[in-house]
Amino acid sequence: MGLLRPSLPPGEVFGALAEFATPAELYHACEGVRDAGYTRWDAHTPFPIHGLERAMGLRASRLPWVVLVTAVLGAVSGIGLQGWVSTIAYPLVISGKPFFSWPAFIPITFELGVLGGAFGAVLGMLAFNQLPTLHHPLFASQRFERASDDGFFISIESWDPRFDAGRTVDLLRRLGAQEVELVASSSEPAKPGDATTRATP
């Protein structure tokens, strides 16, 4: 079950969850969280927001390198298998052609390269995103259910070096959050005094 659950920070609080009214407010809030020096946090939106990765300060993904390596391995295995069959396992002279007739090997080499890249993309994405995840502390928040509909959220994990419950909540409120909630690490609800704070008008 360890692979089906995310790595959780120690303690009773998973982190802070803040809701924003519009994509623009979320975008500027991400810039504020980034500039504040937080490193273990994420933005949750029901649809892609152009440029959000820059606002979050995300580095380029490592997934293209995984796809490149697996595609090359697939292509090399394809041409290697065909070369071994034609020159070692079953060396047959066909129409006077040499045993290693590489132009005839190109279609299979290309197809196995594509197949290897596809496997690398899927498996690499699952690994980098720690999927499949059957449970996450954020799922216990009823407000977070809107993240797949019309809600815009930022979550900051408690194991971020700069995380402090009070200061982090205050920062999110200053950045324009409508609601800020401290999410418990387990399925048990957070303490009544820490559960939710409303942004003052």
Rounded average pLDDT over 5-16? 77
pLDDT at 195: 44
**176-199 confidence digits (pLDDT tens):** 999 999 999 875 544 444 444 444
Residue 6 has pLDDT above 90, yes or no: no
Q: With left for phi above 0 and alpha for psi between -120 and 50, is residue 68 left, alpha or beta?
A: alpha
DSSP 146-197: GGGTT-EEEEEETTSTT--HHHHHHHHHHTT-SEEEEEESSSSPPPGGGSEE
DSSP state of 3: G
Query: In this structure, which topology does domain 2-58+131-198 adopt according to CATH?
Result: Alpha-Beta Plaits (3.30.70)
Kindly list the domain boundaries of the chain, sorted by start residue.
2-58+131-198, 63-128
- Give the residue, 74 or 199, on which the prediction is more confident: 74
